[in-house]
Amino acid sequence: MPVIMIGFIKRYFVKAVSFLLALLFIYAAASKLFDFEAFQVQLAQSPLLSAYAGIISYGILIIEFAVAFMLLIPNSNRLGLYASIGLMSAFTLYIYLILNYSDFVPCSCGGILEKLGWTEHLIFNIWFLVLAIIGLYTLVKKTGKSGLKGLGYAGLIIVASCLVVIGLFRSSEHIIKSENSFIRRFLQHPILIEKTRDLKVNSYYLAGIHNGVLYLGNISAPLIITTIDTSLNRSTRKRTSIDKKDYNFRNIKLQIQGPYYYLYDGTVPIIYRGHLNDSIARTLSYQDAFFNQLVVIDSTRFAIRTQRGSDHRYTLATLDVKGDSKVKLKPDILQGQIDGVFDVDGSLISNSNATKLVYTYVYRNQFIVMDSTMKIENRLHTIDTTTRAKITISKLSDGTKKMGAPPFSVNKRSVIAGDLLFNESNLMGKYEPSESWKTSAIIDVYRLDRQKYMGSFYIDHKKGEALSSWLVNGNYLYAIVGNELRRYKIRGEAFK
């Protein structure tokens, strides 16, 4: 009986191994093919191969079906076993790299294999790799040739497959983080919602944070300052007043830079300042400059965006109410492409202590990093591919200009935290499910000191209402979505 059993195994072992491998590859390829869109999305989120999701998604399907076909044809059986060894080696190394050199683990398998944990999946692959090697050794021996020679070729194939995977990994990381062709990598739970508070109305916005207290402005009641502690438990409301108010204000805004609060409306060239413990804001600057954006640098210095009198183009400037020359234009910062007004539209922001300024263009994939004097440190780009503003300008009979068609908007709003820029994007990247854009805001994270994309995450809408205001402070992200104030905890290693 043992002799008969051994003879049976020798006779049918290679066929059985080939059949098992072929079944595995057909099943895996068919699972991907039946839900190909999901497979591409999952592969695009791979921390190792994101940049090549398109090529690899098609390539894997073709290779798996081709290898299965070779395994089932007697004349190509040996070639199929060599190809199986190469393919299983690549899959095995990929999983090993995922488990040991990645912050998160995606899923790019379907069916039964999706139920396996990644460690179990690694063991599963190793077992089939060993089976393929034994099958090849047996087949070579049956042909009367040296089995060791076959193992030598198999070893070369394993090394080559592993080198290909490592090369793709290193190249993909560089492309995704430095030369991205608009493929987002969504990080696994970088922020976790901890608490919410109902604000009752949706007209609030975050004006700043100081000494563990959030300050909220209200579009409908611009002279009321609402404070909420960062645990979102206690709140207060304070009605402020301004020392001079006989002006035709359009939209008074509130900004906090402790220990002061500032009220302003750039259509009227006036800035008010009040102490956080005081309810009266007094005129700090009057008729120094008209502006449409303002960032507080310190108690008497500001960064503004204004329009030049000579050509009405937008330009950045500094305003020092104590300086001899109060306004200093910085005409070389914003670079026009079409008209110098609409095409350079964007948002000017600062970090918490105003040591760093960032201007993010709305209609193109660029942001400008500056110090507090508006000296340019970096011109960096976001991961989308819109390098030139896609807008049309119409000139009216009275000489004024307006947008000739709905603009192609790229970036919405940004905040700074440390050396990171958190940017809300307005464009969908490759291999992204459209459903996510209907229910969430997409936040992309970048380094400010060099060209590097760190990853992306979602902030969910609330009953159809989207993110309207947000800031990052320390390990927390605070966001207003509709009438809800949320506190998110940032996972410690999420953006490192």
Condensed to tens digits (0 to 9), the pLDDT of residues 224-254 reads 999 999 999 999 999 999 998 888 888 999 9
**Do 215 and 104 share a structural domain?**
no
**Which stretches of 289-362 are assigned E, i.e. beta strand?**
293-296, 301-307, 314-320, 327-330, 346-350, 356-361
The pLDDT tens digits of the residues spanning 75-85 come to 888 898 889 88
| Euclidean distance between CA atoms 217 and 207, whole angstroms | 6
The pLDDT tens digits of the residues spanning 2-33 come to 544 445 555 678 888 889 988 988 988 888 88
**Do 266 and 245 share a structural domain?**
yes
**What's residue 195's pLDDT?**
95
Q: Using alpha carbons only, how large is the chain's radius of gyration in Å? A: 30
Neighbouring residues of 79: CB distance < 8 A, sequence distance ≥ 6? 70
Question: What is the average pLDDT across 357-361?
Answer: 96
Q: C-alpha dihedral over 77, 80, 82, 88, to 10 degrees?
A: -140
**Do 86 and 231 share a structural domain?**
no
**342's tokens:** 């609409």
**What's residue 6's pLDDT?**
47
Q: Indicate the pLDDT class of residue 1, thresholds 50, 70 and 90.
A: very low
| Euclidean distance between CA atoms 171 and 156, whole angstroms | 22
**Do 202 and 173 share a structural domain?**
no
Residues in the chain: 496
- The answer to whether residue 117 scores a pLDDT higher than 70 is yes
Question: What is the average pLDDT across 187-204?
Answer: 92
**Lowest-pLDDT choice from 99-108, 135-144, 216-225, 456-465:** 99-108
- Count how many domains the chain has: 2
| Euclidean distance between CA atoms 141 and 81, whole angstroms | 14
Q: Quick check: is 406 in a domain?
A: yes
**280's tokens:** 């009266």
Range of the domain at 296: 191-490
> According to the per-residue pLDDT averaged within each range, which of 51-65, 172-186, 234-248 is highest?
234-248
CATH of the domain at 264: 2.120.10.30
CA-nearest of 420, 425, 429, 475 to 453 is 420
**Number of other CB atoms surrounding residue 486 within 10 Å:** 21
**Number of other CB atoms surrounding residue 258 within 10 Å:** 15
**Do 278 and 350 share a structural domain?**
yes
Q: Quick check: is 185 in a domain?
A: no
Q: Quick check: is 184 in a domain?
A: no
**Do 384 and 242 share a structural domain?**
yes
Q: Quick check: is 243 in a domain?
A: yes
Higher pLDDT, 397 or 326: 326
**What's residue 486's pLDDT?**
97
Encoded amino acid at 82, one letter:
Y
**Do 351 and 253 share a structural domain?**
yes
Encoded amino acid at 392, one letter:
T
- The answer to whether residue 177 scores a pLDDT higher than 60 is no
**Which stretches of 165-249 are assigned E, i.e. beta strand?**
191-198, 204-210, 213-218, 224-229, 235-239, 241-242
**What's residue 368's pLDDT?**
97
pTM of the model: 0.72
| Euclidean distance between CA atoms 436 and 399, whole angstroms | 42
**Do 172 and 201 share a structural domain?**
no
From 178, 211, 228, give the residue that closes a domain: 178
- The answer to whether residue 375 scores a pLDDT higher than 80 is yes
**What's residue 5's pLDDT?**
46
**Do 200 and 327 share a structural domain?**
yes
**Do 349 and 383 share a structural domain?**
yes
| Euclidean distance between CA atoms 65 and 82, whole angstroms | 15
- The answer to whether residue 199 scores a pLDDT higher than 60 is yes
Q: Quick check: is 186 in a domain?
A: no
Q: Quick check: is 438 in a domain?
A: yes
**Do 438 and 308 share a structural domain?**
yes
**Do 145 and 196 share a structural domain?**
no
From 146, 178, 210, give the residue that closes a domain: 178
Q: Quick check: is 183 in a domain?
A: no
Question: What is the average pLDDT across 153-165?
Answer: 86
**What's residue 264's pLDDT?**
95
Neighbouring residues of 6: CB distance < 8 A, sequence distance ≥ 6? none
**Lowest-pLDDT choice from 34-48, 132-146, 198-212, 368-382:** 34-48
Question: What is the average pLDDT across 475-491?
Answer: 95
Q: Quick check: is 495 in a domain?
A: no
**388's tokens:** 């030139």
Q: What is the chain's mean pLDDT, rounded?
A: 85
